[in-house]
Amino acid sequence: MVRAHDTRNARLRLTAAKRGMQRLTHTALHRYWTDLSQRIQCCADTGDLHGMYQGIKEAIGPTSKKTATFFSEDGRPISDPEKLIFLR
């Protein structure tokens, strides 16, 4: 049989552990972004354009390449490459 006191203590320990983990995560993220911005600024100050743009790309993240789907006259998407060549 589980006592209510044990459940309350477990909940308090879980809350304290969660709070500590959130603080650690926040500190690590702050340090990462601060270091990255300092690196970008240092590259900009020294004229290292390649390093500056690499840092900006790292901050922005990967770019996605999206292509538009072509539709036939009746509204269905065209997936056959042969038909797509004639539409261009």
Does residue 27 form part of some domain? yes
Does residue 87 form part of some domain? no
Does residue 22 form part of some domain? yes
- Rounded to whole angstroms, the Cα distance separating 6 from 85 reads 70
Number of domains in the chain: 1
Summarised one tens digit per residue, pLDDT across range 42-73 is 999 999 999 999 999 999 998 888 777 777 77
Range of the domain at 40: 4-63
Does residue 37 form part of some domain? yes
Helix or strand or coil: residue 77? Answer: strand
Does residue 76 form part of some domain? no
CB atoms within 10 A of CB 43: 18
- Rounded to whole angstroms, the Cα distance separating 11 from 6 reads 9
* Structure confidence at residue 79 (pLDDT): 74
With a pLDDT cut of 90, the percent of the chain lying above it is 58
Does residue 35 form part of some domain? yes
* Structure confidence at residue 1 (pLDDT): 46
Does residue 80 form part of some domain? no
Does residue 85 form part of some domain? no
pTM: 0.61
* Structure confidence at residue 3 (pLDDT): 67
